[in-house]
Each structure stands twice: as structure tokens, then as C-alpha cells.
Chains A and B, each alone.
Chain A
Amino acid sequence: MTTHDVDWIDVGRIVDIPLRGSRVVASPIGDIAVFRAADDAVFALRDRCPHKGGPLSQGIVHEHSVTCPLHNWVISLASGEATGADRGCTPKIPVRLDGDRVMIALPETMAEAAE
């Protein structure tokens, strides 16, 4: 994906997401979990565990992973992939920081994929 076909949407300040935590952005493609790791790195994933759809935004964030609250699957924040012996992937959402603002993008392909 090149940047010119992406519309970045300002969803708020990074400081409004707790450290080692997550907030939800409600969107037309469903809830998006925006994570802030201990090192201030920001990630965004669909708020659905690839296993049984658990809300990843409610899991414990550790390093660059989150543990799903329903059945303890550990999902990589960077790739959306399940780690360890589990297999599955949660769609990644493009995210970047502009100063202290968190920007995410909902490409059309994503919107279609969500249908």
C-alpha cells in the first residue's frame, strides 16, 4: 500500500490511551483496538481475536503482544498473528503518530473485507 491512497483519520491523543493498554475506536468496519505499548509504540488491530472473536482491547498488553481475555491466545500487535502453537490472524489497521495525535486509516479494501 502506498501512502497517497490512504486517508488518515485523527482518532485522538496518544496520552488518552493508557500505557500497556488499549482503547476502542468504533468504526463502520467494526471496533478497532488501538494499543499503546510500554515503549509508547502504537498499534491497531480489529478488536476481534482470530480464535473466538474476543475483544483484544480488553486483554493484558505485554511487550508488543496482547493476551486475549477469553482464552489467553497471545496475539502479536505488529502482525495480528497468533503466536506460539496457535494459528490465526487478526486484520491489521494502518496506524501512525502525528506528534501526539494517533492517526488510523481505513482503506476501502478493508471496508470491503469487513462486509
Chain B
Amino acid sequence: MRYEKPTTVEAATALLAGQGARVLAGGTDLLVQMRSRVLSPDVLVDIKGIDATRKITKDASGYTIGAAVTGAELKEHPTLSKDWPGLVEAANLIGSTQVQGRCSLGGNLCNGSPAADSVPGMIAAGAVATIAGPKGTRTLPVEDIMLAPRKLALTAGEFIVSFKIPARPAHGGDAYLRFIPRTEMDIAVVGCGVALALDAGGTCTAARVSLGAVAARPLLVEDGAKALIGTKVDDAALAKLEAAVRAACKPIDDKRGTVEFRIDVAGTLAKRTAKIALERARKV
């Protein structure tokens, strides 16, 4: 096995176009899979030598977050947690404190697990990935990147350089909740991200609802957003949200939960998540 740490996007895409190459960001999934002999790549391409993957920049249009920025760095950023608390909280649920020093948004997404915590958080926030490849750079909304477990919409040589997160709306708030049988050190049985915006009168003008671990890929639930838009996010709207979310679930029975349980809990979590997002939107 070869380890490479390119410093330019072009060098990285050239290496990644080769046989048996894998992207190494934080390595908190990849190295574990290598040690348990699930994966044995020929070339490890460490993207942390590329400046753009390691920094957070802010301008009027929002944030650009490098794909290899760690969970701890997201938390420590002076304004990100104020603007997108749900997204940061979701990313901070990955692993332990030690893992937070390494794990990244790019890695969490590209590991290709439907249960990744930061992904519904990013989808709710409207994150768009900037993807570099041998043919140049393109963008793709985060909800379109993962296709199925371990299967991504990236082609040979492509990797995610950064994510664009829009500026927070004037009265906007987001939240992420997950269900796990414990309180930490676990993987979501259901995850739910909600972002919404209110007008001055408190009516919901925009919303995005995303679910994790209830289908083969993280979901953007359009009907969930529709249940909220145009309402005061009252009990009636939340009941509609709950129904829409449950209808969108296509989970499996496995050791972490049954189909029935995941559908039930998704509805419960969506209501609870929306209430937190609403409170946050009202405060700003």
C-alpha cells in the first residue's frame, strides 16, 4: 500500500483516478475498515495537504467548509454554531471526543452510510458539495451524492473539496436529532435534520426536512417541508409533518431497529426537531 499526500487538487485527482485508490480525510471510518480487513486500498490519498479541504471561509453568500475540516474545528468556529447550530451539533455527534479531532463532513458523507449523522444536518441546511475531478470542478447538492449504502455519485478520480452552506435566513433556524438506544458512542437508528425560515409574522416561508437511517440513502423529504411552509408550525402542521415523514421512510429490519420502530421514531423525531428549529428561528 502507498500513502500519498498531494498539495494540489490536480495532483489528488490524478492519484485518485488510479486503481485501488481511496481518499483519506480524518480516517475515522477508513482506518477502522482497513484494520478489520473490510478494505485494503492500494493507494491512500490524504487530501489534508490541500489547503481548500482544511479551512472554513465566510462571505455574504454563506460558508465554504473544507471537506476535511474536523468536527472539533466546526464547533470552535466563531460564528458557524450561531448560524447553523443543527449542522454543527449533527457533526459533533460523530464518535467520541477523540474522534471529533479527526472526523470530517466529507468523510462522514463519502463513507456511504445511510446513518451518517452530519448528512441530514447538511441536507437540511441546503449544503452543496464542490467536487473536483479529472475533468474539472462541478457542484452537486448533498442529497444527490449518496445513492445507496457505500455507493456515491462520484466518478473515478473525483473527490469532494468543500461544502457550500448558504447564509442563514433572517429568521432561520436548524436542528438535528438522532435516536440511539444509549446517550453517546452509537450510530443513529433514525436521524432527522430540519431547517426552516420564518417571516416577520412567524409564518414558515421555507423549510427543508431530511432523514437518516430510514432508507438506503439519506432522504430529503419534500412533503415534510410542504407540511410546514405557510403555517405557524403549530400542532396541526407538526402532525402533518409527522405523517409526511413516516410516509417517506423505507427502512429495513436489522439489529439496530425494526421497520415499524424506525417509522414510528422518525415521526416523533421530526416533530421534536422541527420544534427546536422553530425556537431557534424565533430567537434570531
Q: Do chains A and B interact in one complex? A: no
